[in-house]
Amino acid sequence: MAFPKNPIIIHENLLVSPQSSTQLSLPLTFFDLFWLRFNPNERIFLYSLPNHSHDPSFFFNNIVPNLKTSLSLTLQSFLPLAGKIIWPSHLPKPIIQYNPGDAVSFVVAESNVDFNMVLQNSPCDASESRFLIPNLDSSDSSASVVSMQITLFPKKGFSIGITAHHAVVDGKTSNMFINAWANMCRSSVEECPSFSLKPELEPFFDRDVIKDPTQLDLLLADNWTKDPNDATKKKRSLEILSFVFKPKVENSVRATFKITFKDLDKLKKRLLSKWNEVVNDDEVVNDSYSKPDTLSSFVAISAYVSTCMARAIQEDEKNEQKKFAFGFAVDCRSRLEPKVPENYFGNCVNLHVVDAKPEDFTKEDGFVIVAKKILSKTKNLDKDSVLEGIETLSSKHETRARLGVELISVAGSSRFRVYENDFGWGKPSKAEITSVDRGLSIALSQSKDEKGGLELGLVLKKNVMNIFTNLFHEGL
């Protein structure tokens, strides 16, 4: 079934303000500046309406006002989200600036698409999620931080689409805000006037906890001013590089895959049974490859899905030898010295790329090889190595691209517990990281249906998705 050409009607373009007279400025750290002009984080939460709430008036008279009021109250604790990124001429790097009266874009829309079709996990046109996601304004002089879109599916449900600037929030910060907003909204629906945020949801803004003795922040800020076509020219711009990070939705499909606890256990046992049979060249001098007693779900599923993806792409393009790498973001909060508070507001992640050979992903024993490499990398992430390579991350990424190496990465985390974000009308029927369509990414979350299970979201070319689906299920 295809979507209609005009799947939504915009009812209102609103602005929601925190109603705060406090002015706030936050400098961007080197963690933030790496993402300055990258694509934003884009998420969709889909909620089924209770039977008594099927009348559209319930949505417009109850749900929308509660979401707006609770958003305004939540933003009072998250003022930077209502502000903008600016780059004053007298400062060497950009800042986040909130001025009283600043507000968040809040779009109210209605869709004529079948809600059950949107909830399905089977492959569908990758572009179809895009109509539920709001735009995020950016220009040379400023960039908005977050925007919202609330979309009604009459008599069925509604969605909350959230677009957030990656230079302001990482996955943990974004989830902390969404969780705080959901709790605030649920308390208003349940008429709890004395509600206050839990301490772990109160953002910590002090940038002094991020130590930067080598002034990496200034290096990264300066790198963003360079003209890629002429190194002698420099220009300050905060416009998101949408032409570089454009969604890859043409001839592509989006699908969700469920991994049960039993599936995960099978994968771990298979890996451990073959652990000593598959030996890499560098294992002789590296004891971090020794067989572990247990394996984490992250190691098992990352190795399994990334090698299935690589094999599917390779099989679809038989005439060309493809090269792959695997990267994942590491939360540095607990690994830095001194430690950064868990409720720190801002980016505090570093991307680590696994030291596997590009051809390892498509080998017969690639699943085991890549799993060993991922485990070795995670075992060595202490306070001395967690920031390793951060100063050359951009240049290495460019080098991989020039060499034709495709980076498979992970977005999200099973620890974020996205299916617990209840705004007062029940938990999500589906949660999606829409922005995985901008690259080869695996959207990872905990299962909605089973404790210990996982849910994966992928966007691939149609032919590749068909091959991947067969490989994925055969392997389980």
Cis, peptide link before residue 338, omega less than 30° from 0: yes
Q: Pick the catalytic residue from 102, 165, 166, 263.
A: 166
Give the residue from 83, 237, 243 showing the smallest Cα distance to 147: 83
Q: How far is CA 123 from the centre of its chain?
A: 20
H-helix or E-strand containing 105? strand 104-111
Three-state DSSP state, 463: helix
Q: Are 32 and 347 in contact (CB under 8 A)?
A: yes
The C-alpha angle with vertex 104 and arms to 165 and 40, in degrees rounded to 5, equals 15
Side-chain half-sphere exposure of 274, counting CA atoms within 13 A? 16
Length in residues, the chain:
476
Q: Are 44 and 432 in contact (CB under 8 A)?
A: yes
Q: Is 397 annotated as catalytic? A: no
Strand partners, 146: 164
Helices (H) and strands (E) in the chain, counts: 12, 19
CA–CA dist 460, 475 (Å, integer):
19
Q: Pick the catalytic residue from 137, 331, 355, 422.
A: 422
Inter-axis angle of helices 261-274 and 366-379, nearest 10: 90
For residue 317, give Cα distances in angstroms to 84, 270, 310: 43, 28, 11
Sign of the alpha-carbon torsion through 277, 281, 284, 285: negative
> Tokens 């306070």 belong to which residue?
383
CB atoms within 10 A of CB 234: 11
CA–CA dist 437, 43 (Å, integer):
12
Three-state DSSP state, 264: helix
Sign of the alpha-carbon torsion through 424, 429, 435, 441: positive
What amino acid is encoded at 291 in this protein? K
CA–CA dist 407, 64 (Å, integer):
40
Q: Are 301 and 264 in contact (CB under 8 A)?
A: yes
Q: Is 422 annotated as catalytic? A: yes
DSSP 204: B
Structure token pair of residue 35: 């993402």
The catalytic residue positions are: 166, 422
